Structure 1
């Protein structure tokens, strides 16, 4: 019977030259070491050791089996290393994301692909429910969403939190909640929920609900919402990081509020299946990049 453990015992025995040392090194008994050698001899139907009392020498077959065992373990280590690299640098990542997160994540991932030529990325922008449905139907392996998912088949954990910001036209001079409302609201895929959360936190006595907002425009792509703000058509509420990365910073500005409001992003996968290492590596690298970007923005 072929057993890699027997080969490992035999290698150790040859290198130590001692049954006693081999047993101690491998946490075995001396009879256990002898049994492994005997199993190899039975497997090959050849004597591997020429014993003289407590001493031994390798037979010609023993030398060849020793050389073969070394090659076997060397190839095993090479394969293990290659497999680890492939899990990180090769294969496909299938993700679905809310647009307010993906609009920054996807350009970063494209740069990441340039440095990992064996990696492939399939990514769709979806609302929360569509992203979750994609995981449940196995169309994607990972969903990045903004709401906690309680489902027996899903694992959900907080990935990061974004700071929300009110973005107004650069020439807006208002300083009250009513002045802001007079602008009109530019909504996007998650604009209403983000507006509800931020306005409720900062104007608890004045904000009574989304019915107070006059929607001048609504679009499912957040960068186009900023285009509308830049044209003076209204204000929008979105993650600050999205605005900071947009080409409309010169035509818009942040309307500062005292109460910071955070918008969560959760990573969701099937509970019974672990994500391949390449997913973890990509997500970790994105967090590292974001932290560096935030630090540079604070310093500037």
Structure 2
């Protein structure tokens, strides 16, 4: 019995028959049938009930199938980790990130370039919790900078720093030069917000709910870059991370701090627990975590 036989068997079960599995595996149906018969002979019991229309698992086959899936899952991880060693050997680190870290990450990468000049860094924008989890588990990124705490047993989430979400508006807006602006002052203003599923939207929505007022949402956008362009054009107001804007505020914009605990959040570093990472990649994690 070998891994190939287990893959063939799992494919037959998944496809509900030999013809579909053979096409998916790019095998002839007779070759696939022979492989499954050989597997049954080797283990000493029948795995499949064969009919003219489809195949079904026998009682013993169900137990075998469950075990086979576990073995195949472990093998997939092993193959990915072997490939990961190859990638690390070529000197590449893949970093997932949210938009608001664009003014924080250069300091880290400047240090990394000096310490590890041969390492190639790939920056990938990863937005939304599901995308982050998939990117980490599927080896699309080694680590991810996110504004979401990910409570999963296989993922480590380390707090890095706090950031505030601030109100942004066109410099010529009637509220622009007020010393203070409150959420109730913008209740009827056309509002631009990040798309559904993003943590920023959840923070903003919660702040308005806590203040007992509604948002006049007129525009949804995925990127802060797009939001700022719309705000600068005078189309509406928005709330985005202060760190995204940078130290120097453009003359076309005005920003206001808002008094809401929901508009302060944490930026986290997320990575897979107990996964092998080459020393050069571990050094990058340590630097971001502030470990000397």
Q: 2:144 is matched with which residue?
A: 143
Change in CA separation of 1:238 and 1:182 when aligned onto 2, cut-off 3 Å: same
CA distance in structure 2 between the partners assigned to 1:249 and 1:262 by the alignment: 22
CA distance in structure 1 between the partners assigned to 2:287 and 2:146 by the alignment: 19
**Over the residues paired in the alignment, what is the CA RMSD in angstroms?**
2.9
SS in 2 for 1:138: coil
- TM-score w.r.t. the length of structure 1 is 0.54
Is structure 2 residue 183 aligned with structure 1 residue 192?
no
CA distance in structure 1 between the partners assigned to 2:276 and 2:91 by the alignment: 15
Gaps of 5+ in 1: 1-89, 289-300
CA distance in structure 2 between the partners assigned to 1:105 and 1:278 by the alignment: 20
Is structure 2 residue 215 aligned with structure 1 residue 213?
yes
Is structure 2 residue 126 aligned with structure 1 residue 126?
yes
Equivalent residues in 2 for 1:253-272, closer than 5 Å: 253-259=254-260, 261-272=263-274
Partner residue of 1:224 out of 223, 226, 229: 226
Q: 1:24 is matched with which residue?
A: none
Show CA shifts across 1:139-168 (max 9, x none).
221122222212222222212221111112
Of stretches 261-270 and 237-246 in structure 1, the one that deviates more from structure 2 is 237-246
Offset at 1:187?
1.9
Offset at 1:192?
1.7
Show CA shifts across 1:47-96 (max 9, x none).
xxxxxxxxxxxxxxxxxxxxxxxxxxxxxxxxxxxxxxxxxxx9322121
- TM-score w.r.t. the length of structure 2 is 0.55
CA distance in structure 2 between the partners assigned to 1:284 and 1:163 by the alignment: 25
Show CA shifts across 1:1-48 (max 9, x none).
xxxxxxxxxxxxxxxxxxxxxxxxxxxxxxxxxxxxxxxxxxxxxxxx
CA distance in structure 2 between the partners assigned to 1:280 and 1:183 by the alignment: 47
CA distance in structure 1 between the partners assigned to 2:184 and 2:278 by the alignment: 50
Aligned residue pairs total 190
Offset at 1:119?
1.8
Question: Does the CA contact (< 8 Å) of 2:183 and 2:258 recur in 1?
Answer: no
Gaps of 5+ in 2: 1-89, 176-180
Offset at 1:112?
4.9
SS in 2 for 1:123: strand
Change in CA separation of 1:177 and 1:148 when aligned onto 2, cut-off 3 Å: closer
CA distance in structure 1 between the partners assigned to 2:189 and 2:273 by the alignment: 45
